[in-house]
Amino acid sequence: MNVRKRLGVGVLLAGAVATLAGCGGDDNGGGNPTYDGGGNTDGATTDGATTDGGVDGALVDSGSDGDAAQGPILAGPSHGSSVALSPDESIGVVVNRDAGSVTVLKLSYPTGMPATATSAGEIAVGGEPWQVVISPDSTTAYVVLRKDQKVVKITGLKGTPAAGASVAVGSEPTGIAMTPTGATVWVANWVDGTVTGVDTATMTVKSTVDLNAALVATGFLGTVTARPGLAHPRSIAVTNNGDTNDADESIYVTEYFGQATAAEAADGANADTRKSGIVYRIKASDKSVTTIQLAPLADIGFKDANNAAAGCYPNQVQSITINGKFAYVTSVCASPKGPIGPNVTATACTVATIATDCAALVDPVCVPPAAGLASVCVDVAGVKTTTAPVVSVIDTTTNTELTTATANLNAKFRDFYVTKGTADNNLRRYPLLANDMSFVPGANVGYVTANGADAVFRVRYDNTSGLIAEVGSSTQLFIDLNPTGIAAPSAGLNPTGLAVGTKGFMLVASEATHVATLVDLNTQAVAGGAATPSVIATTPAPTAGSEADKVRLGKRFFNTGMGRWSLKAQGWGACQSCHVDGLTDNVTFYFARGPRQPTSLDGTFASNDPSDQRVLNWTAIFDEIDDFELNTRGVSGGVGAIVSATTVPPATADRIDIATACATPPCTNGNGNGGLNGSAQKAGDPVNALTLTAPGKLADWSNITKFIQGIRSPRGPSNLDAAKVAAGRTLFTTDGACQGCHGGPKWTISKVFYDPTPANSATLKTKSWTTAVTGSGFPAALLPATTAANQVMRFGGANPAAFDQILCILRPVGTFNVAEPGAGISERRADMTTLGQGAATDGNGFNPPSLLGLATGAPYLHAGQVRTLEALFASTFATHHHALAPNFLTDSDPAVLKTKIDNLIAFLLSVDETSTQVAIPTFGAAGGNFCTIQ
C-alpha cells in the first residue's frame, strides 16, 4: 500500500503548514480532531496522578517558558533520541556515542526513488553524546552529553554545521526534549534526580526541578528525606498544544527503575508484581510535580515452567513518546520469580515424537545439549518469562495509565507469527530491548527500535481506546536492519533510536556499525534493498582486529540476542537485559544460588588495571567473564560461544560441555571448566591452551571481557554538598574502617588471586587459610567458615553443584534473610522452595560488592532488601556497619547520628572513578583480604 495515499494529502500538508505559519494544524498523530493534540492537561478538571503530595520541585525558576514566543513551532510533541529529523525533513542528526561526535546528514527524496542521505560533516562535541533534538526552524540542534554533563548547540545545519555554545547540566544526563517554540530544552539528569531547563537563546540554565522530593512523596522509599540520587529520571517528552505559549505545556519524565509498592513475600510469590513504574509530570507553568504509576502486568501472555501465568513490572524504562492524547512508555519489564531459564531434563526425545516424549513440559524443545550427548527434552518456558519489552500507555487527559492498553510486545508478536504461520525458528524475531518509539506524523502507527534484535517493529494503536490494534504489516513481519545480502558495513546492528517523517521514510541509528539507515515505509524495509541500501556511515569504523574493534565487537555480543546469544536466535534475552550500558537493573532474580541482584559490571575490573578483577557474583561462584557462558545457555537459552564448531545456524551440538565435570582431569574434551572448575576462558579460546581434542573456535568472550574492562562507572551526583562529602569520607576511613571490605581501586577487597587453570582451581580446595588468619587479629565473626578442616580457599561441601564458591572472600555481615521493614526478603533458590546460599556454617556471607555507582544501585544488598542507604545504616543492619568498628554509628543523640549518616551517604554517593582511592589494609584487625594460592 502506498504510504502517501494511505495518510492522505491533508496529513502531508499539516506539518508544512505548522512549520511555515507557526501555528498548529496537526493533532499530533492522534487522529482525534476534537483533542488539542498536545497532551496538555493543565486545564483538565481531573488530575489523575497516582501521587500528588503538593510537591513543587522547582529549585530555580527564572521565569515562565516561552511566553509570547514568535516564529515557527514544532508540529508535534518532542522527545529526544539518538537520531533526529528536522521539521522540514531535509536534515538528520545522529549521535555517535562511542566516538564523541554527531553527524549531520542532508536528506533528499527523489521522485520514484528511495530517499538518500549524504554527510554534511562529523562534528566533535565531547564525551558520550546521548540524544539530540532539532529546533523548529530546522537550522539548530541540541545534543546532551552524558559523560561531559552538558548540552551543546549545533549551528548551521543547512550550511556548515559546527559546535556552538554549551552549558553544564546535572550528572549523567540521558534525555532531552524541546518545548514547541524551541525556546527551552529540558534535560533529564539520571544520577542527580533532577530535570534541567536550558534557555536555548542564551544557553543558560533557567530552571532546575528536583524529582527526588516527588519520589519521596510517593512513600515507596519508606521514611526518608529527599536528597540527591534517589530519583533516576531517564527519558523525557514535552507536549505541544499547537500555540506559541510554552508555559501551558507539560513535561513527562520517566523514572528508570521500578519502585516497590509492597514488601517481598516470604515465599517470593509476588516477586513479579510487587513493583510499579513511575512517570513524573511537570507543569511548565509553575514546575510543580505529580507522579503517575505504571502498574505491573499480572499476565505477560506466557506461562512459566510451573505452567503458571508470569507477570512483570516496568523497569529500566527506555523511552516515552507522546502521540495524540496518549504517552507511550517502553521498558524492560522484569519477571524475576523462578524458575528462570531452560529446564533440561533427562528424558530422551526425538523431534518427530516430541509431543509425547516431552508432554509433561510447558514449552518443550528436543535438543542435543552438547556434542556426543543424546537429545533430551528441554522446557524453554523460563527463557520467555525473564524480561519482556512492554509498552505502557498513559492517557494524558487524566494522567493515569490505561492498564488495559499496556501490553507485552513479545506476546503480541508471538500471536502474529502464529496467525501468519511463521515457522518457530530464526524467521521469528522479538523486540528485545525496545529502546525508542516514534509515530508516523498524523497517524496512530508507531515504530519501535529493538537494540538486541537489529530490527524495527511496527505497532498500530487504536486512537480511541489506546489498545494495540495490529502488529507487523501485510508485507513484512518486522523491519530487518540486517537483511540477507546486505554488506556487513551497511548492516544496522544494535539500533538506538529512530525518527519518522511525513515523506514515507524513517531514519534509524545503529551503534554497533555506526550507520544511519533510511527505511522505506512503503516496503517496510531498508530503502534501496539489500543490494543498494540507503545507508550511510556516521563515523569511521575501528580498524579490523584493533583493540578498539575488539571492544566494539564485545559490546555487540553483550547487547545482542541474535545468532548464538538467545533461544533460536529470536531475541529473547541478552547480557544487557539485566545490564543496560553494562550497569545493573536493580532487580532481584531468583537464580540457582538464591535471590540475587545483578551486580553493576563497572566494578568488575580496576579502571587502571584490567588484570585486577573482582571474584564474580554475590556468592563468588565465577572467576572469569567467560563463565557467564552458562548464563547465556541457562537464562537466555542461546547456544553460546564456547563451541568446538560454528555450524550455521548455531547448533547446541557444537557446545563444549563446560558444565559437566569430567571423570579424570585434566579434561581433554573441555568438560570440567565451567564455574570454578578450571578455565572456561581457556576451554573456549581457539589458542587451545588446554590442548583439547576439540578446541574452541570463537574469541567472543575475550571481546566481551575487553568491553567490560572499559565500562565507565556513573559519575557521582553533581548536586552533593562538598562539605558533607568530605566529612563522610573521614567517617568511612576512620570511624567505620569500611575500607577493610570496600577499599582499593575497585572499592572492594574482592580480587581473583590465581590463574584459573584446572590445576590451580583444584589446589584451592585444599589450601587452608587457618594459619594465615590465626594471630592476625582478624575478627572471628567475619570468618566465612567455622569448621577448621573446611577453612579453605574454595569450598563446595558434599554438593559442589549447589555450593561451590571461593570461600575466603566471603564476609558474613548479617545480611542473610534480613530486610528493611517494608522491603521484605525471600531467601529461596530458583525452584522457589530450596533455601538460598549465604548462611551455611561453612560458607557464610557474601562477596563484597564494589561501591562504584552507588547512586544508581538502589535497592541494595544481594536480594535488594534495602531500599535506600539511609535504611542500610539503620539498626536493622548494625552487624554490617559494626563489622570492623563496633562503636560506629552508636551515637545516643539522634541529631548527631543523623548528621553522621547524612555525611556518610553523601560520600558514598560521590564515589566514582575520579574519587581518590582508599587503600585496602593488610589483613588483620582492620579487615582486608586473606585469599592466596601461595
pLDDT tens for each residue of 266-282: 999 999 999 999 999 99
Helices (H), 67-187: none
Nearest 10 degrees: Cα torsion 473, 476, 478, 479: -120
Indicate the DSSP class of residue 789: G
What are 200's three cell numbers?
536555548
Residues 525/480, Cβ–Cβ less than 8 Å: yes
- How many Cα atoms within 13 Å fall on the side-chain side of residue 406? 29
pLDDT band with cut points at 50, 70 and 90 for residue 33: very low
Res 65 pLDDT > 60:
no
Mean pLDDT, the chain, rounded, equals 91
Which residue from 56, 57, 55, 78 is spatially nearest to 66, judged by alpha carbons? Answer: 78
Report cis status (omega within 30 of 0) of the bond before 666. Answer: yes
Closest residue by Cα to residue 639 from 857, 915, 378: 378
Confidence of residue 113 (pLDDT cuts 50, 70, 90): confident
What gap in Å lies between CA 905 and CA 889, rounded to an integer?
13
- Strand blocks (E) in 71-115: 78-79, 83-85, 91-96, 101-108
The pLDDT assigned to 348 comes to: 94
> Is the pLDDT confidence value at 665 over 80?
no
What the block records as the C-alpha cell of 858 is: 538502589
Q: What's the half-sphere exposure (Cβ side, CA atoms, 13 Å) at 876?
A: 19
pLDDT at 187: 98
> Comparing 13 with 548, which gets the higher pLDDT?
548
pLDDT band of residue 660 (cuts 50, 70, 90) is: confident
Secondary structure (3-state) at 714: coil
β-partners of residue 207 are 61, 197
Q: Are the C-beta atoms of residues 518 and 535 closer than 8 Å to each other?
A: yes
DSSP state letter for 375: P
Measured between alpha carbons, how far is 800 from 920 in angstroms, rounded to an integer?
A: 31
Q: How far apart are CA 681 and CA 700, in angstroms?
A: 10
Grid cell for residue 493: 546492528
**pLDDT the model gives residue 498:** 98
Cα–Cα distance measured from residue 621 to residue 615, given in angstroms and rounded to the nearest whole number: 8
- Show Cβ contacts of residue 172 under 8 Å, excluding neighbours closer than 6 positions: 146, 149, 189, 190, 191, 192, 714, 715, 856
The three cell numbers of residue 332 are: 524492560
Residue corresponding to grid cell 545493573: 584
Q: What is the reported pLDDT for 666?
A: 64
For residue 558, give the H/E element and its range.
Answer: helix 547-559
pLDDT at 662: 67
Predicted confidence (pLDDT) per residue in 688-745, tens digit: 999 998 899 999 999 999 999 999 999 999 999 999 999 999 999 999 999 999 999 9
d(C-alpha 750, C-alpha 55), whole Å:
42
Kindly give, in sequence order, each residue whose CB lies less than 8 Å from that of residue 754, ignoring residues fewer than 6 positions away.
623, 760, 761, 764, 933
Other Cβ atoms closer than 10 A to 352: 9
Nearest alpha-carbon partner for 102 in 174, 159, 152:
152
Cα-Cα end-to-end distance for the chain: 72
Other Cβ atoms closer than 10 A to 872 = 24
Contact 39, 238 (CB under 8 A): no
- Helix, coil or strand: residue 732: helix
In terms of pLDDT, which residue wins out, 220 or 37? 220
Question: What integer pLDDT is reported at residue 7 of this predicted model?
Answer: 29
For residue 262, the cross-strand partners are none
Q: Tell me the Ramachandran region of residue 182: left when phi exceeds 0, alpha when psi lies from -120 to 50, beta otherwise.
A: left
Model pLDDT for residues 304-352, shown as the tens digit of each residue: 999 999 999 999 999 999 999 999 999 999 999 999 999 989 999 998 9
Name the pLDDT band for 112 (thresholds 50, 70, 90). Answer: confident
- Cα three-residue angle 205-207-208, rounded to 5 degrees: 100
pLDDT in tens, 358-377: 999 999 999 887 767 789 99
Sign of CA dihedral 210, 332, 315, 288: positive
**Residues linked to residue 590 through DSSP beta bridges, in sequence order:** 595
Q: How far apart are CA 214 and CA 255, in angstroms?
A: 11
Whether the predicted pLDDT of 810 surpasses 80: yes
Beta strands in 556-622 (DSSP E): 589-591, 594-596, 605-606, 609-613
Q: Per residue in 516-533, pLDDT tens?
A: 999 999 999 999 999 999
Which residues, in sequence order, are CB contacts of 493 under 8 Å at separation 6+? Answer: 454, 481, 482, 510, 511, 512, 513, 556, 560
**Cβ–Cβ under 8 Å, residues 803 and 796:** yes
In the beta sheet, which residues pair with residue 94?
83, 103
Confidence of residue 129 (pLDDT cuts 50, 70, 90): very high
User: Please, which residues have CB within 8 angstroms of residue 575's CB and are 6 or more apart in sequence?
Assistant: 557, 558, 559, 628, 631, 632, 704
Confidence of residue 668 (pLDDT cuts 50, 70, 90): low
Shortest CA distance to 365 belongs to which of 421, 309, 307, 425?
425
Entry field: residues in the chain:
934
Sign of CA dihedral 716, 721, 726, 727: negative
pLDDT score at 4: 32
pLDDT (0 to 100) of residue 850 = 98
- CA–CA separation, 880 and 889 (whole Å): 11
Q: Amino acid identity of 742?
A: H
Amino acid at 318: Q
Q: Using the structure block, give the residue that is written with the C-alpha cell 581434542.
A: 693
% of the chain at pLDDT higher than 70: 91
Statement: residue 24 has pLDDT above 90: no
CA 75 from centroid of its chain's CA atoms: 31
322 bridge partner residues: 327
Q: Give pLDDT tens digits for 670-691.
A: 777 999 999 999 999 999 999 9
